[in-house]
Amino acid sequence: MSFVEEKIVSEQLGICAKIKTILEDRYGDEKPGYYIQTLGCQQNEADSERMAGLATLMGYRAVADPEDARLIFVNTCAIREHAEKRALSFIGEYKHIKDKHPDTIICVGGCMVTQGHRADRIKHSYPYVSFTFDTGAIHLVPGLVLSALRGEKRKFIISDKYEIAENIPTARSNNYMGWLSIMYGCNNFCSYCIVPYVRGRERSRRPEDIIKEAKEMIASGIKDITLLGQNVNSYGKDIEGITFAKLLKMICDLEGDFRVRFMTSHPKDASDELIEVMASESKVVPHFHLPVQSGSNAMLQAMNRKYTREKYLDTVRKLKAAVPHVSITSDIIVGFPGETEEDFEDTLSLMSEVRYDMVFSFIYSPREGTPAAKMDGQIPHNVSTERMSRLLKLQDEICLERNSRFVGETISVLCEGVSKNDPEMMTGRADVPRPVHFKGDPSMEGKILKVKITWADKYSLRGELV
Ligand code: 5AD
Ligand code: SF4
């Protein structure tokens, strides 16, 4: 396990103070704005909150419109082609801001530019981008901004050095729900996935650093903590004497009115010890995101998932037996190379058996540099889309059935604020990843309340305060 030296982090934080002085000279009392466009997963959202923390320390202020920003970050995702296209389209869109305000710094971070060929494309086709930085280089952002402010040569950082940088400030985007990254990277090399190439090998933060951050989050009023990692339940494999289950228990033992979730888990690491902690700790939300990817053993093997359909179903059975009200959700890939109609039907039958509360389904997207991109039997797009629509239809039916089980029940809901569609209604977040709407007033924001559910459809729940 390796950490960025403290000296390097404090040097970078020192640069923030330098930048602040430059900005005051340049812009006077009116702080210039910063804007972050985040694409992709929760890990990217957590990374963006670090970028926001650094930008704030440099003396920028958050703005809601990129037009008003003099520092724009695009935090990119590389998981599927669609995400990369969206990132390039945002970067393209921001050109006119640079044209109008040449003092704007546009920079690109995240998984897309951690790939050499993508960083090269930005370098050559987007000359107005000041710098790019890989996912292991967020702590170097202050130095990069300083050099851009001074008009120095453009920089394209691919450090390939994936270390843990502690003590980077965080500007959280939500007052009540917060991300807490506990580990980074992935060792699994699923054959379709770009993540291990762009986020490096698994590395766990020290338990004491995590507990310190959790305490700060609870003290600041955060009521819903999500422990994050690409492969969160393999936390601690690189540290003597700790497992993910033990860490989860340590967090539950902290004082305060909060609850805790975690994602994303790999089924092969869903241990009995973890299921026991979920069953016994009331602070752990009974929700398990357990991506299966496919219900066919042939596909699971080709995907290098390291479990079988039977083993997965066995874990699900154990989980349901130990945590009776558990919500299980999943990711599924449709149209993986070589997927036959029978393989796909195995996925549908697995979904029918598990009865997921929610499924995030994706059409397979070849990623340059991954083994699956070179496999025979790439599936035509029309076949994948037809399979996808059958999958969605089945999941819609299951979602409605799963949501309906709450009607008549009283559940805990964290109130997020006034509903966007109806000023008399409040919206909240329950154990299930579904919005809950109920009559209330803004004073309830940030509180965990009891709501009796009176109505459900496949997307949401409605109820009354108890
Ligand atoms: N194509 C389609 N979906 C993918 N995922 C990861 N890589 C790919 C790919 N190349 C999906 C998986 C993963 C989720 C985050 O994204 O289902 O669990
Ligand atoms: Fe990608 Fe597999 Fe790692 Fe998840 S476990 S990030 S799908 S390689």
Q: What is the C-alpha separation between 328 and 287, in angstroms, rounded?
A: 6
Residue 35 alpha carbon to ligand 1 centre in Å: 27
pLDDT of 262: 98
Q: What is the C-alpha separation between 173 and 181, in angstroms, rounded?
A: 15
Question: Letter for the amino acid at 441?
Answer: D
Query: Could you identify the atom of ligand 1 that is nearest to the CA of residue 365?
Result: 1
Q: What is the C-alpha separation between 294 and 343, in angstroms, rounded?
A: 8
Kindly report, residue by residue over 288-316, the tens digit of the pLDDT: 999 999 999 999 999 999 999 999 999 99
Q: Which two tokens stand for residue 363?
A: 């059409």
Q: What is the C-alpha separation between 181 and 199, in angstroms, rounded?
A: 13
DSSP, collapsed to helix, strand or coil, labels residue 29 as coil
User: In this structure, how many other beta carbons lie within 10 angstroms of the beta carbon of residue 404?
Assistant: 15
Burial of residue 335 (number of CB atoms within 10 Å: 0-12, 13-18, 19+):
buried
Closest CA to 223 of 174, 189, 271: 174
Q: What is the C-alpha separation between 108 and 132, in angstroms, rounded?
A: 5
Length of the chain: 466
Question: Letter for the amino acid at 247?
Answer: L
> Residue with the nearest Cα to atom 2 of ligand 2?
190
At residue 341, φ and ψ (nearest 5 deg) are -55, -40
Cβ(195) – ligand 2 distance below 6 Å: yes
Q: What is the C-alpha separation between 176 and 172, in angstroms, rounded?
A: 10
Query: Could you identify the atom of ligand 1 that is nearest to the CA of residue 363?
Result: 2
Residue 156 alpha carbon to ligand 2 centre in Å: 26
Residue 290 alpha carbon to ligand 1 centre in Å: 13
Tell me which of 187, 193, 198, 233 to substitute to probe ligand 2's pocket, judged by most ligand atoms within 8 Å of the beta carbon.
Answer: 193
Cβ(198) – ligand 2 distance below 6 Å: no
User: In this structure, how many other beta carbons lie within 10 angstroms of the beta carbon of residue 357?
Assistant: 24
* 442 contacts: CB under 8 Å, gap ≥ 6: 417, 418, 426
Q: From the centroid of its chain, how far is CA 353?
A: 27
Residue 331 alpha carbon to ligand 1 centre in Å: 8
DSSP, collapsed to helix, strand or coil, labels residue 355 as coil
Residue 325 alpha carbon to ligand 1 centre in Å: 28
Cα 291–294–352 angle (5° rounding)?
Answer: 85
Cβ(193) – ligand 2 distance below 6 Å: yes
Residue 234 alpha carbon to ligand 2 centre in Å: 12
Nearest ligand, measured from the Cα of 197:
2
Q: Which two tokens stand for residue 303?
A: 């995907």
Cα 435–440–442 angle (5° rounding)?
Answer: 90
pLDDT in tens, the chain (466 residues): 589 999 999 999 999 999 999 999 999 999 999 999 999 999 999 999 999 999 999 999 999 999 999 999 999 999 999 999 999 999 999 999 999 999 999 999 999 999 999 999 999 999 999 999 999 999 999 999 999 999 999 999 997 788 999 999 999 999 999 999 999 999 999 999 999 999 999 999 999 999 999 999 999 999 999 999 999 999 999 999 999 999 999 999 999 999 999 999 999 999 999 999 999 999 999 999 999 999 999 999 999 999 999 999 999 999 999 998 899 999 999 999 999 999 999 999 999 999 999 999 999 999 999 999 999 999 999 999 999 999 999 999 999 999 999 999 999 999 999 998 888 999 999 988 889 999 999 999 999 999 999 999 999 999 999 9
Stated pTM of the model? 0.95
Cβ(69) – ligand 2 distance below 6 Å: no
Cβ(437) – ligand 2 distance below 6 Å: no
Closest CA to 271 of 299, 255, 258, 290: 290
pLDDT of 1: 57
Q: What is the C-alpha separation between 464 and 466, in angstroms, rounded?
A: 6
Half-sphere exposure for 351 (CA within 13 Å, toward CB): 29
Residue 108 alpha carbon to ligand 1 centre in Å: 22
Q: Which residues line the pocket of ligand 1, CB cutoff 6 A?
A: 79-80, 192-193, 291, 293, 331, 333, 362, 364-365, 367
Q: Which helix (H) or strand (E) holds 284?
A: none
DSSP, collapsed to helix, strand or coil, labels residue 330 as strand
